[in-house]
Amino acid sequence: MINGAHVILYSRDAEADRAFLRDMLGGKSVDAGGGWLILQLPPAEVAVHPTDADQKHELYFMCDDVDATVAELKEKGVEFTAPVSEQRWGRLTAFRLPGGGEVGLYEPLHPTAYDLQR
């Protein structure tokens, strides 16, 4: 039986990105050896979208109030790369990781699988 999922982010500065995510997500992690942190994520869900283009994978962190979360993260020095946009399915923005990568942040306006765990 599947009991979890493991997300991999590739980074030009993995150590900085690990520390950033550790600090942003509340610090829970395990050392897999040699300082290689594996970080605990909040509850998650997966969606599969159809495409005729190149297949790619995306990571979005979800929140209950995107404006409050953006303000909180900006106070911690997080750089946002897009203004909050209103989508049919949610309120969306993105922020930069120290290694140069970008991840999304959104406030869903649709039912979520996360709601099943609450």
Model-wide pTM > 0.85: no
| Percentages (nearest 5) of helix, strand, coil residues in the chain | 25, 25, 50
Q: What is the CATH number of domain 14-117?
A: 3.10.180.10
**Higher per-residue confidence, 117 vs 53:** 53
Cβ atoms of 104 and 59 within 8 Å: the answer is yes
64-92: per-residue pLDDT in tens? 999 999 999 999 999 999 999 999 989 99
Mean pLDDT, rounded, of the chain: 89
User: What is the residue extent of each domain of the chain?
Assistant: 14-117
Percent of the chain topping pLDDT 70 = 96
- The pLDDT of residue 117 is 67
Percent of the chain topping pLDDT 90 = 51
Question: Can you read off the two tokens belonging to residue 14?
Answer: 């993995």
